[in-house]
Structure 1
Amino acid sequence: MKTSISLRKALVLTASGAALCFSNAALAQTANEQDDTSVQETVIITGTRGAPRTAFDSLAPVDVISEKAIDLTASDEVMDTLSQLVPSFNVKRLPMADGQVFVRPASLRSLSADHTLVLINGKRMHRSALLGSNGAQAPDLAQIPSYAIKQIEVLRDGASAQYGSDAIAGVINIILDDEAGTNAFAQAGQYYEGDGEQYRIGAQQGFQFDNGFLNLSGEYTDAQPTSRSRQRADAIALQEAFPDLNVPNPVQHWGQPERQAYRFALNGAYDFANSEAYVFSTYGFGTGVTDFNWRNPLSTSAFGDSTIDPDYDLSEIYPAGFTPRFGQDDNDFSLTGGLRSADDGKFSYDLSASYGRNQIEYFMYDSINASLGSASPTSFNIGTLTQTELNLNADFVYLASLDFLADDLTFAFGAERRNEEYEIGQGEYASYAVGPLAAEGFPSGSNGFPGFSPDQSGSSDQTSYAAYVDLEAPVTDRWTVGGAVRYEDYSEFGSSTTGKVSTRFELTPGLALRATASTGFRAPTPGQLFSERTSQGLDTTTLNIFTSGRFSPQGAVAEVISQRDGVNIRALEPEESDNITAGLAWNTHFGLTATLDVYQIDVTNRLSTSATFAVTDAERAQFAALGVAGAESITRVNFFQNDFDTRTKGLDLVMAYNFAFGPGEVNLTGAYNYNKTDVTGGDFAANTTSADRFEKGIPEHTANLQANYTLGKWDMFGRMRYYGEWRDYSGNSTGDIFQDFGAMVLFDLGATYQVNDNLSVRVGAENVFDQYPDEATYQASRGLIYSRNAPYDTDGGQYYVRLDLSF
């Protein structure tokens, strides 16, 4: 499958012109308006079952990211915005890393991507169908149109007792827009290198009724690929040896993928007497394509002569070798509806049902199934992954007036039923077939990413039930305590009980101490429990292709490997955690606010990919007898396992200061995060190579500082982003090679001019000084210049221009 980029651009330009013609009049916030209140006075709803409170009054640390702050980042993906504004949040690009190129893993406080619970309007968001780094299965934040977001609240505290599984590191609550008015934007930009052109356009229409509201949002993105690559040494040698060949330069591109995406959101509510019916939904679909490793015709096993099929000659199809092109079509939908109390009485309720579905269909072209010989196609439908979830929630709150308390006791309780289903749809036959030429050593399956076979396809599900009680008690005017207990029972592994206690004491009206202690857990998903797949990679030393298989820990392959001495592949169990957070919040009368929090998170039974087992000839024969797809070429296997324990210690400092400067106003915000993880037990404790990935793969020190200056019709901002030292690994089949990288400081600049009441223009640049990290020494043979695992964008500077319209 290939995408018509010229058609996409034409659509964007046409739509941009149409956006400029909107003429309806409605109230909307102008681009250069400043909030009248400090960040800590912003009302939040995350982390409490009681009435909304301010960030300053919260019992746990909460970051609030406004709609305006989201619009000041060039990317269309929410996770990039979070990574620039919340130092403890990290996201990677991971070029040429299969599906993770499109569904990028993100982490809070350096924990796994699925250790952070994601909510939309306070309701659990469904997971992506992708099992990413170390098997993590987290929601795909890129599916939410950033133009539809009113506010993001990031609770940096364990909250499993309040919200259920996954909330070990914290909670991200995305609040959809509910304002009236007509708004639209168009944005275009590219990198300094002249690639990575991105075109974005969005529109939003909000309606306000006597008894409710309806807000509709839509966004389209067309992003072209980037390439920070140099020619591979073996490609240079091939060109020199065969001057008549047309060897592409470079033969493979390391960078961001080509992608197009449509994202939509709906948010509405309607009052009936004392009740309010509400509904919100997101829908998105898109496509993306990226490169895989180049196959050298002189060393790749797919090339060669066949006695069985004399007509097979891959050098006629790919005389200069081939670079498989890997892509996905994604389709994502969620719908939540419910009925809740609409008054401020003593008793309130919220009854809701949520449905979510994420589907990824993989495809590949410019490839081959060499085992089929001359009968092989060069393009393949690899198969589909589908994650489906259905949640039923009943939440209640009762405000009890007790004489010995300074205010009402908040008594919250509720129940939840959740069903998750994971399905693997098989690819077309040629994508997984083991053809007759396999007997001669030609590899089977679509080269680069074998399709899902009938044995790998199928579905599995899991149902859970939960009940909780959550209390908040204002003991005095200054002292508030809270506690929560949650019980959950899962069909696949049993039950879990978690708890949380919180306290906040106000030393003065502007200075408060707070602390929490909690237990948490994350339940393994059906995809992690039962799914299987094989993939191919390229050894960075030998440049030979190897085939890996990741199999269910409860399957036949696990039983074969467990026959080895000292090896026991175990069924998965929940990950469990103990969280402690303590800190202070400071709110002054002269515009300065600050929070300082220290934390410790102990996680046991952490899920990861097990050690890799090199497969013997005898084991390969056993796999073949069991009907394992591609058994003849599997060189190594691994499994998801509860392998190790970690302790994460850290500190968060967040500050904001608003003040007048000359004829204008300055808004300064800054944040710093120190985060250190140590492997404390399990299989990784004695394995330095494995432990290093978790202890040093993300910088221990990160920070940002942003300044906004508003003067008349101008609104200017500058942002500094700091990333400390970190360590990378090579990912070789025979063992990892490590490389240390130094600190990076990146600067972003932008200026917005309010042309009139309806139109503003912004010009901006990210990484304005075009900074690049050190080159990746151990991956140079693959044509890679900068590490694929970097915790920041390695494509250099980019600039953009944006038009915003409000009517």
Structure 2
Amino acid sequence: MTNNQNSVLATRAALLCGAAALVASAPAMAQDSQTRIETDAVAAEQADRAIIVTGTRQADRSAADTVAPVDIVSTAELNNQADSDIGNVLRVSVPSFNVGTQPISDAATLVRPANLRGLSPDNTLVLVNGKRQHRAAVIAFLGGGISDGSQGPDISVIPSIAIKQLEVLRDGASSQYGSDAIAGVLNFILKDSPDGGTVSAQWGETYEGDGDKYTIAANVGIPVTAAGFLNLSAEYGESDATVRSVQRDDAAALIAAGNTAVADPAQIWGQPNVNDDMKFFANFGLELSPAIELYAFGNYAERNVDGGFFFRNPTNRGGVYAGPFVDPATGAPLAEEDGGVASVLVGDLSIDTAGDCPAGIPLTQGGLIPDPTILAQVSADANCFSFVELFPGGFTPRFGGDIEDYSAAVGIRGQLFNALDFDLSYRHGRNKSSFSIRNTVNASLGPNTPTEFNPGGYSQTENVVNLDLGYNLALGEGSVYIAAGAEYRDEEFGITAGDPASFELGPLAQPSAAYPTGQGFSTSSNGFPGFATNSAGTSKEDNKAAYIDIEADLIDALTLQGAVRYEDTKSFGDTVTWKLGGLFKLSDAWRLRGTYSTGFHVPTAGQANVINVTTQFSNGELQDEGTFPLFSPAGLIASDYIADTVANGGLGLDRPTLGPEKADSFTLGVAGDMGDFSVTLDYFNIKLKDRISRSSTIDFPAALCYLANREGVANNCTDTFTPAPAELLTQLDGAGVIDRNDFTGFEDLVAFTFFNNDFDTRTQGLDFVANARLYPIEGGTTRATLAINYTETEVTDVGETISATRVRQLEESLPKWKGFLNITHEQGRLRGLLRANYFGSYYEAHLEDSTLPIDASAELTFDAELGYEVIDGLELAVGAQNMFDNYPTLNPYSGIVGAKYGERSPFGFNGGSYYLRARFQW
């Protein structure tokens, strides 16, 4: 960070802390002189006996008495971490939760997809104070197999300091909460104290000396009359990028040949820069009467993310540098078999008098260095241009964007007639991503190209109205709690067009005498083409639901639960889901529990309607791949192409469809308490049918050739030659088969995909959790938690548009075994933490290529923290994450694109880091 940035950030941080202190001062001074400090021991004690609200409609149910397993993560555990990002925190707090670093993953770098129990991110329902959180606008097109095409919520907008406790329901709950609750439910319960507060400041960096990170956070409770509260939380921070790269082989060869403009390393692999990461949450409650409460909560968050992309080699990047075979003496076109050599592409800017420029600058020294004589000739001629003049060492785009997220919820709840519980609420949420890409070009604009672009963005807006009712019916010595309710939810997914230069077809993309189908330069911003105006717009989806949920405690030893939900969607029909569960107390200490449920996940408005082009590394080179709606003009071409059985290109497969995915889930577990020791063991089995995902890639030019042949359009397609998409699109448009404008921005596509339902899976495993409270030293308390998760996924029905690589990614790209042993100790003013984290072996298809397998070994990492309360309320702490500096398995193919380690490591690839924290509580 620059000195100017540091001064700005310091000012913002000071303002944040000052505001929090001013807001806190009034209630703090009004308190008794007794200091109110919530120690880790107290927080853990509260978590043990906490009443939970997830998976049950009753108001007095504890985690120990639920028919399905519910884990509680306390505020102390969430805040005593090296990382403030809630995804990274949960990675070492919830064994079945996984989230990766996403170094080069297009928009997935901005909003990292997370997996619970081995399933897609949008198979987990996220709640805040029991209300559905809206989705992120970002769709993870590059999600490492499991997350490809997912659109889940962005939990990173939740500051950990705002959370009272996190409840993790490890069970299917679609019949209780609706679409998405297949893998489970994460319910973030916000702090609701009317007084007290916390101010925290933390700084850290990696052992390598990069990745500097700081966070300043504050929480304050304010009384609102004697019957209400306003609890405010804020966090501000930044995180610098890391570099875990080696020099690419091709870049090293260029440098060795004398190209001094090539960067070292040419391509950056590491975590991205996260700038101006601001998060704010407010939680409000007010008793209107002894039986009625008004409540509200909401958030605002924003951040800027800036990450790396793939290196563009100055000798062979298609559409920018790669030219035809030419005469080594003149640069005129000459076939390879006649002695022609590879060249750097030259554009003729005198469009009307084309042919004055060499077709290419011959590459000498084994195809590594442009011929200096002809390069000088091109540079001296104002009508001729080559990108080696602008970027002689190639270029590596930087991709990122701004994320903005906000929501507001308001409701009223309580009890009517001393018997009928009710909760009426409305929630509005919006997430917006505005993309940016720099250090790149729109090659078709030649020397007039900008090097920074705004390619447009996505937005996701949701509105939810809920009415929940409940009545407790006494039956003899037992009771039955009957809950019923209704929900209306709508969502809108929007695409914003980019600036014109980000999708423009410049003059060097137009036909010329030398290039009848164009001059060979690619259109749009290289790396992430902008959304053209024909792609912009909004798509809407809504659904209506009604449910009934019954819990019965007919005898002391037995609790039964049943739920049925009807849900009707605008575009994908209706469905009924249900759940049956029971808990039987074998004794005062041991309980047997189990559930069976059905579930579903409806395609989002984004998944059904998104248009996107991304640059993917495939078959040893970069290529542009598009994603289209299944029912768009391009999607219909794909549908016909893969389903038609005619000899000319038809693949004879089933016509793709897009609809809901459906699940059947089964859990069975045992839980026991023995004094200061408790243990749970739960088995789960989730069968998921017709999973929603992106298809494997389809050859775009081949599909266009198929369409041209089918419609009898004159074209030059042969078994050995396929014209460029731009030429085919022009021919098809001229024949009236398509509207050329529907394909603006897609002229350089090599392949494309679409969302459909094309495979089934079965995911099963075990969750084991053991807690113990020990007293090794008089006056001190030691707590130990051992949590182990085993998850195995099998693709049980392999579809026709899913590749073998994707199947293996679904089955093996997350570790089957994962767990941690967490030990905390409090002794007076001293507090310590030691945690061992185990990550099992896993598979990575490097660059999504099955010929580049990484079979990564299991790793054991350790975290430690030591805190001391120097004066009442003020604690200083020092800690280390991955303190023995473990790294994942070395990438055996690191020379291809410079990645020293695989990018899918479940614990990252930054190595060890340390941090310092000061925290004041009152």
Same fold? TM cut 0.5: yes
Name the CA distance, whole Å, in 1 between partners of 2:817 and 2:674. Answer: 27
Change (3 A) 1:384 1:352: same
Other-structure match for 1:390: 463
CA contact (8 A) 1:56 1:587 kept: no
Instruction: Show the counterpart of 1:201.
Output: 216
- 2:256 equivalent to 1:240: yes
- Seen in structure 2, the aligned counterparts of structure 1 residues 343 and 204 have a Cα distance that, compared at 3 Å, is farther
Could you tell me how far 1:783 is from its partner in structure 2? 0.7
Does the 8 A contact of 1:554 with 1:571 survive in 2? no
Report what 2:66 is aligned to: 58
- Which structure 2 residues correspond to residues 499-648 of structure 1 after superposition, within 5 A? 499-539=578-618, 542=620, 544-561=621-638, 562-563=640-641, 564-589=650-675, 591-616=676-701, 618-619=704-705, 620=725, 621=727, 623=729, 625=733, 626-627=739-740, 628-648=743-763
> Alpha-carbon deviation of 1:568?
4.5
1:263 paired to 2:279: yes
2:111 alignment partner in structure 1: 103
* Equivalent position SS for 2:567: strand
Pairing 1:787–2:902 present: yes
3-state DSSP of counterpart to 1:321: coil
* Residue 408 (structure 1) shift: 2.1
1:770 aligns with 2:885: yes
CA contact (8 A) 2:541 2:571 kept: yes
Amino acid at match of 2:521: F
SS at match of 1:158: coil
Return the alpha-carbon distance in structure 1 between the equivalents of residues 192 and 682 of structure 2: 32
Q: Counterpart of 1:418?
A: 489
| Structure 2 partner of 1:360 | 433
Instruction: State the alpha-carbon separation in 2 of the partners of residues 411 and 370 from structure 1.
Output: 65
Specify the SS of the correspondent of 2:668: strand
CA contact (8 A) 2:695 2:802 kept: no
Partner of 2:411: 338
How many residue pairs get matched? 800
Distance of aligned partners of 1:622 and 1:522 in 2 relative to their CA distance in 1, 3 Å threshold: farther
CA distance 1:328–1:7, change in 2 (3 Å): farther
Deviation at 1:41, TM superposition (A): 2.4
Which residue pairs with 1:671 in the alignment? 787
- Are residues 507 and 685 of structure 1, via their aligned partners in 2, closer, same or farther at CA, if it must alter by over 3 Å? farther
- Deviation of residue 39 (structure 1)? 4.7
Change (3 A) 1:441 1:170: same
- CA–CA distance in structure 1, aligned partners of residues 802 and 227 of structure 2: 63
Letter in 2 for 1:229: S
After superposition, give the CA deviation of every residue in 1:131-162 in whole Å (9 maximum; x if it has no partner).
Answer: 11321110000111111111100000000000
User: Which of 217, 221, 230 is matched with 2:233 structurally?
Assistant: 217
* Structure exhibiting the larger radius of gyration computed from Cα positions: 2
How far is 1:758 from its partner? 1.9
Deviation at 1:469, TM superposition (A): 0.2
**Residue 322 of structure 1: CA displacement?**
1.0
Greater alpha carbon shift after TM alignment, 797-806 vs 302-311: 302-311
* 1:408 partner SS: strand
1:143 partnered with 2:157: yes
Q: Counterpart of 1:67?
A: 75
CA distance in 2, matches of 1:47, 1:742: 36
Partner amino acid, structure 1, of 2:630: P
1:30-69 equivalences under 5 Å are 30-35=38-43, 37=45, 39-69=47-77
Q: Aligned partner of 2:58: which letter?
A: G
Cα deviation, residue 343, structure 1:
8.2
Write the letter of the residue equivalent to 2:557: R
1:716 counterpart = 2:843: no
Partner of 1:293: 310
- The Cα of 1:313 is off from its aligned counterpart by 3.4
On the 8 A contact 1:684/1:690 being kept in 2, the answer is: no
**Which residue number corresponds to residue 434 of structure 1?**
505
TM-score by length of 1: 0.96
Residue in 2 aligned with 1:492?
571
TM-score normalised according to structure 2 size: 0.84
Deviations 1:27-60 (A, max 9, x none): 6434454347375422211100112321111111
Q: Larger strand proportion, structure 1 or 2?
A: 1
> What's 1:283 paired with?
300
SS in 1 for 2:395: coil
Partners of 1:522 and 1:360 in 2: how far apart?
A: 24
Conserved 8 A contact 1:311-1:374: no
Matches of 2:802 and 2:302, distance apart in 1 = 44
Of stretches 155-164 and 249-258 in structure 1, the one that deviates more from structure 2 is: 249-258
- How many Å apart are 1:237 and its aligned residue? 1.5
Residue 469 of structure 1 aligns with which residue? Answer: 548
Please give the alpha-carbon distance, in whole angstroms, between the structure 2 residues aligned to 1:615 and 1:154.
43
Following the alignment from structure 1 to structure 2, what is the Cα–Cα distance between the partners of residues 387 and 255? 28
1:6 aligns with 2:79: no
8 Å Cα contact 1:569/1:641 also seen in 2: no
- Please list every run of 5 or more consecutive structure 2 residues that lacks an aligned counterpart in the other structure: 322-344, 351-382, 510-517, 642-649, 706-724, 734-738
Alpha-carbon distance in structure 2 between the residues aligned to 1:711 and 1:690: 51
5 Å matches for 1:687-702? 688-702=804-818
| C-alpha distance in structure 2 between counterparts of 1:247 and 1:344, whole Å | 77
Matched residue, 1:444: 523
> Residues 522 and 748 of structure 2 are in contact (CA less than 8 Å); yes or no, is this contact kept in structure 1?
yes
Q: Deviations over 1:637-692 (max 9, x none)?
A: 11111110001110000010002112221100110011100000141799532210
Q: Tell me the secondary structure at the aligned position of residue 455 of structure 2.
A: strand
CA contact (8 A) 1:186 1:202 kept: yes
Would the aligned equivalents of 1:38 and 1:593 in 2 still touch at CA under 8 Å? no
Tell me the amino acid that sits aligned with residue 635 of structure 1.
V
The whole-number CA distance in structure 1 between the counterparts of 2:552 and 2:418 is: 18
Q: CA distance change for structure 1 residues 72 and 553 in 2, over 3 Å: closer, same or farther?
A: same
Taking the aligned partners of 1:376 and 1:453, their CA distance within structure 2 comes to 17
SS in 2 for 1:508: coil
Q: For residues 584-607 of structure 1, give each alpha carbon's deviation from its aligned partner in whole angstroms, at most 9, with x where no partner exists.
A: 111122x10111100100000001
Q: Deviations over 1:438-468 (max 9, x none)?
A: 2111111101100111121111001100000
CA RMSD of aligned residues (A): 2.1
Alpha-carbon distance in 1 for matches of 2:50, 2:106: 40
Mapped to 2, the partners of 1:546 and 1:737 lie a distance apart of 18
Q: Distance between the aligned counterparts of 2:590 and 2:417, measured in 1?
A: 29
Q: Deviations over 1:366-397 (max 9, x none)?
A: 11000111221111011020000000100000
Q: Counterpart in 1 of 2:89?
A: 81
* Structure 1 residue 346: Cα displacement: 2.2
Report if the CA contact (8 A) 1:729-1:739 is conserved. Answer: yes
Q: Which amino acid aligns with 1:575?
A: E
- Give the aligned partner of residue 370 of structure 1: 443
Q: Classify 1:344/1:669 alpha carbon distance in 2 versus 1 (closer, same or farther; 3 Å).
A: farther
Classify 1:17/1:111 alpha carbon distance in 2 versus 1 (closer, same or farther; 3 Å): closer
- The CA distance in 1 between the partners of 2:674 and 2:46, in whole Å, is 10
